Amino acid sequence: MDWETVVNEEEMGGMGAKYQFDMGDTWPILGREKMWASESRRRADDDAAADVRKAFDEYDRDWDRRQDASHDLGFQKSKLHFPTRSGNPSDLLSEDARYLPDVRDRHLTHHVPKTDFLVKYNVYGFLLSAFSMPIRYIPPPYSFYQAPNPLEVRIDFSGVDMLQVKELRDHLLRKEMMRWHPDKLGRFLEGEGSHVVSADGALQMSERQVGLGVDQAVRQLKGECEEALRRGT
C-alpha cells in the first residue's frame, strides 16, 4: 500500500490505515510526515522559482548588452544566451516534466516533430516561471477521427492576476520578439550556428533552428497572453 493510499483511506474513514502516536502528542506521525513532505516540496519549488528568476535576469541583461553593443561585432557574434536556466540551447530539447504538458504519450499518433513540441513548451515554462505564473495547461479537444495536436495545448490562466499576464505580454512584445526575429538571427550567428544535441543524444538541431523555434514560441505565447487579457481570465 502506497503512502497516498494510506492517507486517503484514513481521510475517507476506511479501515486498515495504521497510525502511531507520539507520546503526549495528538498528531499522527504519518500526518506530520505528510505536512513535512509538503513543506519540503514547497521550499524546493520556491528555490527552483528563485533560480529561474535569477537565470531570467541574467538572460535579460545579456540580451540587453548584446543589442546595445551594435558596434561590437565580436560581442554580437559571441555565444547566444537562450531562454533556459543555463542559457544553453540543448536545454530546450529537454523532457523536463516541470515544464511540459502531459500529452506526450497520449498523442503520439499525431505527426508533430518532437523538437517543435519540446522547444515550444520549454520556452513557455521558463518565461511563465520567470514571471511567477503557474505552469498549467488545458489539453486540446479530442476527436474520434483525429488525434489532438500536442502543439494546440493551451495555457490555463485561470486564477492568474491579469497584471502579471500583461507584464509578460509587454515583455514579449518589447523584447523577445525583437531578439528572436528570424531577420535578426543572422547578426548573431555564423551560418547555422553550432550543433545542438539533447542530453541523451537522441535529438539534434542547428542553433539557428532552435532560435527559429524560440521565435515561434514567443509569438504564440504573446498571442495566448493577449487572448487571456481579452477574456479577462
Q: Which run of H or of E encompasses 166?
A: helix 162-171
Over residues 89-108, mean pLDDT: 71
Over residues 210-233, mean pLDDT: 95
Question: Is residue 160 scored above 90 in pLDDT?
Answer: yes
For the chain, domain boundaries = 28-231
pTM of the complete model: 0.75
Residue 139 confidence class, pLDDT cut points 50, 70, 90 = confident
Quick one: which of 123, 112, 186 has its CA closest to 152? 112
Mean of the per-residue pLDDT values for the chain? 77
- Neighbour tally for 140: CB within 10 Å: 18
> For residue 37, is it left (φ>0), alpha (ψ between -120 and 50) or beta?
alpha
Candidate from 120-124, 133-137, 138-142, 225-229 with smallest mean pLDDT: 138-142
CA distances from 147 to 109, 120, 140 (A): 6, 19, 9
What local confidence, expressed as pLDDT, does residue 229 receive? Answer: 97
Residue 127 confidence class, pLDDT cut points 50, 70, 90 = very high
Strands 154-155 and 195-197: unpaired
Cβ 6 vs Cβ 30: under 8 Å: yes
> For residue 165, is it left (φ>0), alpha (ψ between -120 and 50) or beta?
alpha
> Of the spans 10-19, 52-61, 106-115, which averages the highest pLDDT?
52-61
pLDDT > 70 fraction of the chain, expressed in percent and rounded = 66
24-38 burial, b if ≥16 CB within 10 A, otherwise e? eeeebebeeeeeeee
Which one-letter amino acid corresponds to residue 40?
A: S
87-110 burial, b if ≥16 CB within 10 A, otherwise e? ebbbbbbbbeeebbbebeeebeee
Question: Is residue 111 scored above 80 in pLDDT?
Answer: no
- pLDDT, one tens digit per residue, over 171-221 is 999 999 999 999 888 888 888 889 999 988 889 999 999 999 999 999 999
- pLDDT, one tens digit per residue, over 22-37 is 434 444 544 555 444 4
DSSP 90: G
- Neighbour tally for 180: CB within 10 Å: 25
Residue with cell 526575429: 181
Question: Is residue 156 scored above 80 in pLDDT?
Answer: yes
